[in-house]
Structure 1
Amino acid sequence: MKSVARLVLLALLALVAVFAELDRQSARDPALATYVPAPFRSFALDRRAADAIDRHDKAAAMRNATVLLRHRPIPARNLYLYARASQLDGNKQAFAQAFLLGTQRGWRVEPLQFAAAQLALVSGNPSGAANRVAALWATNRNYPGLDGLTRQLLATGGGLQAFAGDLAATRVWQASFLGALPRLVPATEAARLLVASSNAGLRLPCTQRDAIISHYRSRSGPAAAVQVVMVPCE
């Protein structure tokens, strides 16, 4: 009898392990989320909520996002999904609360950072917008709309100075941003940003500056690159 009970227990443990692994795999393969039983859903809840939002299925979006947030209330992504579901459901207050909490919890939920940057710009908070745009450059330089958002920030009063401080503060995304600079703004604006960043502590390698100069020369001619030539480097 004990051996039978032991075999049953081992079978149950194996089944739990299978469902737990299936849940983890659903983070990489969203199609698997459908097959994860409700008691084992964690990553699968994320996928089910996101899929329901994409389908504009208000009931399923709210149901899955609510359960996800109840199980894991800390991650910023879960708050983001709940905010999206609440917005879809027409609950403006729940949307605003979840959105604001999500922006305070972390920097890696790209849609949340993008929306927060837009809101900061509209609200006249260039420093807050610069922080969000910097976070996006650090996490995903190819995020859709990031180039346009960066141009908007740099063209906003106080935006260039605020962003210059963020650019000087960390090396994590400096190289990728500086490589993209010639496609983002004219040479005159680039020179202003680089000088402001240098004043804030940016140590610009001369090889990086010369590469930027070369890009501007090829794009707009020698005269356009003159402004960048004057930027200090080391």
Structure 2
Amino acid sequence: MENTKQPTLANGKICYVEIPATEIAVSSAFYQTVFSWEIRTRSNGSIAFDDGINEVSGTWVLGRKPATEPGLLVSIMVDSVTETIALIKANGGHIIKQMALTEQEQIAWFTDPAQNVMGIYQHPGGGHGKICYVEIPATDIAISSSFYADAFNWPLRDKGSEHVGFDDTVGVVSGMWVQGRPSSPEPGLLIYIMVDDIAHAIDAVTAAGGKIVQQVGADAPEITARFSDPAGNVWGLHQQPTG
């Protein structure tokens, strides 16, 4: 059934993901079959997706290095890890890690057909196929967490510990900062944050200690820019067009 729920629009929301692919038809079919993502074709012929609760969208891109190491890691919520693992294996993916957190909570890491490492998180009834969690590499967790709080007003949890978590500003995507993983300095797997005003967002990013690595205009007519955080991870900024 088509998901008619409209996505939330808000400053500081994790809103969009670009996923490296070697064959877009193969990758899009994989995510549609395994996670029930809604696949659509844009007017220019490109393939896009909406996640399982229609809150995070994205696309597959050719010519980018896949995220073959669990550095910047995106996790997808599933009703059943066991059933999802079976679907992953049946559709060209591989399982590289599995762990039970509690009786109800389980996680696993898998590679998709393009060898991107992604995660799954079991939360029955939470929204199968929802992009739910992001793990961000950091060299200094206090510095990285403060950067995102200052630049995007992300609420922090357990601030001051070694396990600082966050929620984006609409509470749809959560995550944490992790040490000991390679940063993602190239725009391979690229995550975008929605902003009300991209010029103000660029000022906030630089004031908080980030660097702009792609100015506005390179993706015209889309209103986007890219930045690197204090650990060198590259992210995107997206301003929703008006009219």
TM-score range, shorter chain: under 0.3
| Higher helix residue share | 1
Which one has a bigger Cα radius of gyration? 1
| Higher strand residue share | 2
**TM-score computed with the length of structure 2 as normaliser:** 0.24
Relative contact order higher in (CA < 8 Å, ≥ 6 apart): 2
**TM-score computed with the length of structure 1 as normaliser:** 0.25
